Chains A and B, each alone.
Chain A
Amino acid sequence: DSGVTQTPKHLITATGQRVTLRCSPRSGDLSVYWYQQSLDQGLQFLIQYYNGEERAKGNILERFSAQQFPDLHSELNLSSLELGDSALYFCASSVSGQTYEQYFGPGTRLTVT
């Protein structure tokens, strides 16, 4: 158990819908990262927040957005969903925003039908 929690575990929704994925970082970690992993693929970095502020942006679509709240939990919002958005979404946290190891949550599996 990494100490990072993600909810929900599974999510099935239809194209065009909007969903919110939630992540609670490890106690004491200030940085949260979001990744997308399609079937048997690598990890695509989406976005990073550090202490409530956006720190780095990766290959995040305009239909996707995220935020980190004062209690440091983070939410990833995915809208106008398409079939290709079906994937495993991981959240990770680290102590700082720099070169510290990341602790990954169990992931949320999103299926868009």
Chain B
Amino acid sequence: GQQVMQIPQYQHVQEGEDFTTYCNSSTTLSNIQWYKQRPGGHPVFLIQLVKSGEVKKQKRLTFQFGEAKKNSSLHITATQTTDVGTYFCAGFNFNKFYFGSGTKLNVKP
């Protein structure tokens, strides 16, 4: 069945270092969304990618959607302690959202 895998599971970085999380689907996706969940909080929508090869930026965050629409990545430049949390990708296909298992980011000051 449909699967969305996300790596790494955990990432510990020093403040100022870059961070990347990757999302891979077993099948082609209609679109992909990214969410951030702070510790003890609920997921918050970050962005949606729809087109093949699409790249979107939000300040220090860069999101990419692969050419085959089967993978995506989120890159954070120069992490800050406010970036701490779990980042989830969510692929949409056949009327369903398939969430990745998330990457938990810890940033040491």
Main secondary structure of the interface of A (DSSP, over half): loop
Could you say which of B12-20, B62-70, B76-84, B99-107 contacts chain A?
B99-107
CB within 8 Å of A: which of B87-101? Answer: 88, 90, 92, 94-101
Contact digits for A40-61, partner B, Cβ 8 Å, 1 yes 0 no: 1111110010000001101000
Q: Are B95 and A99 in contact (CB under 8 A)?
A: no
Decide: A45 and B95 in contact? CB cutoff 8 A: no
Q: Residue-by-residue, is A74-113 near B (CB-CB < 8 Å gives 1, otherwise 0)?
A: 0000000000000000101000010101111111000000
A contact residues, total (Cβ < 8 Å): 24
- Residues of B at the A interface (CB closer than 8 Å) are 6, 30-31, 33, 35, 42-45, 48, 50, 88, 90, 92, 94-102, 104
Minimum C-beta distance from A51 to chain B (A): 14
Decide: A33 and B97 in contact? CB cutoff 8 A. yes
What 10 pairs between A and B have smallest CB-CB spacing? A42-B101, A101-B45, A104-B42, A43-B99, A56-B95, A56-B96, A104-B43, A99-B31, A42-B102, A42-B99
Chain A residues close to B by CB (< 8 Å): 2, 33, 35, 40-45, 48, 55-56, 58, 90, 92, 97, 99, 101-107
* Distance, CA A56 to CA B100, complexed state (A): 18
Report A-chain residues with C-beta under 8 Å of the C-beta of B33. Answer: 101-102
**CB pair B100 A42 closer than 8 Å:** yes
Please tell me if the beta carbons of B88 and A43 are within 8 angstroms of each other in the complex. yes
Contact, CB under 8 Å: B95 / A97? yes
User: How distant is B102 from chain A, measured CB to nearest CB, in Å?
Assistant: 5
Query: Are A105 and B42 in contact, with the CB atoms below 8 A?
Result: yes
A42 to B43 alpha-carbon distance, docked (Å): 11
**Which residue of A2, A35, A43, A99 contacts B92 across the interface (Cβ within 8 Å)?**
A99
Other A-B pairs beyond A42-B102, A45-B97, A45-B98, 16, CB < 8 Å: A2-B42, A40-B104, A42-B6, A42-B99, A43-B102, A45-B96, A48-B95, A55-B95, A56-B94, A90-B42, A99-B50, A99-B92, A102-B33, A104-B43, A105-B42, A106-B42
